[in-house]
Structure 1
Amino acid sequence: MVLANTSFNGCFRIESDSVMGQGSFSIVYEASCLKDETKYAVKCLKKNNMNQDEILSLMDEVSILQELTPLCHPSIIPLHNFFEESSMFYLVMEAMVGGELFDRIAVKQFYSEKEARDVCKIILNSVDFLHSRKVAHRDLKPDNFLLVSAQNDALVKLGDFGFSKRCNDNANSGLGDLKTQLGTPAYIAPEILDKAPFYGSQCDMWSVGVIMYVLLGGYEPFYEAHKEEMYRKIMKGDFEFHSDCWGDVSMDAKILISSLLEVDPSKRLSARDALRSKWICTDDKLLAENDLTTTNFCKLKKYNAKRKVRAVVHSLIAVNKLNIMRQSKKLAEETS
């Protein structure tokens, strides 16, 4: 990674019609390096759209990625360059042209318990690495696991470190030292919803448990139409393995998920321990024989389609809110 001493436009060219994604405060474009034409994804943020807390959060994200990138972990999207200019921030990242992991799974013709297990192992390895570096991601969900290329299903990396934070899990009598309530509703840990004074990186392991449940069952464990009811179920750890969906899934997988969807974070399995669990270590041949194609895979495809629609709706809402904020700010400036 090279930290920038020159301007972004002096090093990179944003390609026309190359929007790769859009958030509340940022747009991600495809960009080419002027030196060798290597393709990158560049996250562009306008300073005047961000308040001081949001800028500080961005700097946390950049600082964490600057620490992680030189370690070259195969499952973490690296930060190649960062530019702070008079009106803009630019984060230059590896271009993940293979799309989202769940989208790739959804177009498969065959889906076995082994394939689900292999994905879970990749997820656990990335989280174990983060936690070994004393970093909590705090927004683990299917959207943030991306494929390097369209040709290789095994090259999966974790991105979007906007909510990530360095943490000390030993602080405050083992509770941790994180305080902020944030995350994606369906994947958020109960200790965050419970407004506990402190929490730690084990919040990520709850999210991993939800992802595993979706990968094997095809639906979210705590889903409710009303968010308040979903939060109530999360805080109680109120979920079950419905027999019509989970009858063919191995008991070891269900035991692992239950160990992750443990309301008490001190009793919740760590990433390191989950990687040593019986299901993760089960022989490939045995899991490959458990075909989920005609049962839960159909539910997973439907879930993925709904997830994509929700993501688009949430993005539009966020952009509309930002536009309203901009208009209000402009009006206030004009009338002052």
Structure 2
Amino acid sequence: SATVVLHSIKSDWGKKRRGVKRFVLAAYWAFSEVVLAQEHGSQRLVALKCIPKKALRGKEAAVENEIAVLKKIQHENIVALEDIYESPTHLYLTMQLVTGGELFDRIIERGYYTEKDASQLIRQVLEAVNYLHELGIVHRDLKPENLLYATPFEDAKIMITDFGLSKIEADGIMSTACGTPGYVAPEILEQKPYGKAVDSWALGVISYILLCGYPPFYDENDSELFNQILKAEYEFDSPYWDDISESAKDFIRHLLERDAEKRFSCEQALQHPWISGDTALEKDIHGSVCEQIQKNFARSQWKVRRKVLQLLFHICGFNFGEFDEFK
């Protein structure tokens, strides 16, 4: 490990420096620009997002936008920005450390999973995204990979992360094409002005996946994939959807609504009986959902992430092996 000196900057990161903090770089997360860091002289751990200043040239506005978004946010289901630091060569964002792993990993490892579980997960995400929307923030890149658990324990909260594409709405509409292909809304593909409804669409895709284990829109050819999305062309295929309630399907139809004007907002989605009522079934769908997740979503990074989590437990003084459900 190495020690790096970081200068705290509370505002306008290019001009001001206040204080000094030391972090020990304990491990690199191979799948991103984030480092697991331990504050010098304490046991406190943070996630340290490292941005080379050379890479910032010409992209200052994008970084400033991400920082501005993160500074506005304080919600129990959103990974928090704790501080901003710099060294002579890098800008560092210290983020709340979440240790519970990714959404798919946890579903596979839990052994029992129902519609009700999916409903409770989606409710947490809806509440967080609705909070963002009330602040005038659109995430624009909601997907399962950006949903992490706060801790490894059974009652852990789900957390939204990665605000690199998020945007504060200036006038209620945006026009930049962005996002992840399988989760992008039709209006973005049509290069039309768009708003918060693109997040609702992405939540519809995520909800669909959580109930069957495969995406509503898929083709190895992006052009064909985009045609499916533009037509809102998807099915509730048998046998995978045979045991899923009509209420769940109705909920998804309202989010995967082709017309952004008619699509449910997060606030409306929170009032749907599948979220707020008792229409979500409690039949175990773990086997079928996990089989499809493992078929349709690459596990290439899962072992790497598990090793990093094991290292984190070691640093924290926990015995990773005690948590059998995470083996």
Settle same-fold status: TM greater than 0.5.
yes
- 2:2 paired with 1:15: no
Q: 1:63-78 residue pairs with structure 2 within 5 A?
A: 63-68=68-73, 72-78=74-80
Matched residue, 2:315? none
- 2:69 paired with 1:60: no
Q: What amino acid sits opposite 2:71 in the alignment?
A: Q
- 2:213 paired with 1:218: yes
Cα offset, 1:61, TM superposition: 0.6
Structure 1 stretches of at least 4 aligned residues deviating more than 6 Å after TM superposition: none
The superposition leaves residues 188-239 of structure 1 with CA deviations (integer Å, 9 ceiling, x where unpaired) of 111111111x111111110000000000011000111111100111011011
The superposition leaves residues 109-163 of structure 1 with CA deviations (integer Å, 9 ceiling, x where unpaired) of 1111111111111111111111011100000000111111112443111110000
Asked whether the 8 Å contact 2:113–2:286 carries over to 1, the reply is: yes
Cα offset, 1:35, TM superposition: 5.3
Q: 1:305-320 residue pairs with structure 2 within 5 A?
A: 306=298, 308-309=299-300
Scaled by the length of structure 2, the TM-score of the pair is: 0.83
Asked whether the 8 Å contact 1:12–1:31 carries over to 2, the reply is: no
Q: 1:1-336 residue pairs with structure 2 within 5 A?
A: 3=10, 6=17, 10-16=20-26, 18-23=27-32, 27-34=33-40, 36-52=42-58, 54-68=59-73, 72-168=74-170, 171=171, 176-196=172-192, 198-283=193-278, 287=280, 289-304=282-297, 306=298, 308-309=299-300
Asked whether the 8 Å contact 2:9–2:86 carries over to 1, the reply is: no
Q: What amino acid sits opposite 1:178 in the alignment?
A: M
RMSD, aligned CA? 2.3
Scaled by the length of structure 1, the TM-score of the pair is: 0.81
Q: What amino acid sits opposite 2:229 in the alignment?
A: I
> How far apart, in 1, do the equivalents of 2:225 and 2:301 lie?
16
CA 1:178–1:21: 2 relative to 1, 3 Å:
farther
> How far apart, in 1, do the equivalents of 2:237 and 2:9 lie?
51
3-state secondary structure, aligned to 2:124: helix
CA 1:153–1:106: 2 relative to 1, 3 Å:
farther
Percent same amino acid at aligned positions?
Answer: 34
Q: Give unpaired runs (5+ residues) of structure 1.
A: 313-336
> How far apart, in 2, do the equivalents of 1:11 and 1:195 lie?
45
Q: Give unpaired runs (5+ residues) of structure 2.
A: 1-7, 304-327
1 or 2, which has the higher helix percentage? Answer: 1
Matched residue, 1:327? none
Q: What amino acid sits opposite 1:50 in the alignment?
A: L
Q: What amino acid sits opposite 1:122 in the alignment?
A: Q
Q: What amino acid sits opposite 2:224 in the alignment?
A: E
> How far apart, in 1, do the equivalents of 2:103 and 2:301 lie?
17
Q: What amino acid sits opposite 1:274 in the alignment?
A: A
CA 1:31–1:261: 2 relative to 1, 3 Å:
same
Cα offset, 1:45, TM superposition: 0.8
Cα offset, 1:15, TM superposition: 2.3
> How far apart, in 2, do the equivalents of 1:310 and 1:51 lie?
30
Matched residue, 2:317? none
Asked whether the 8 Å contact 1:19–1:28 carries over to 2, the reply is: yes
CA 1:311–1:181: 2 relative to 1, 3 Å:
farther
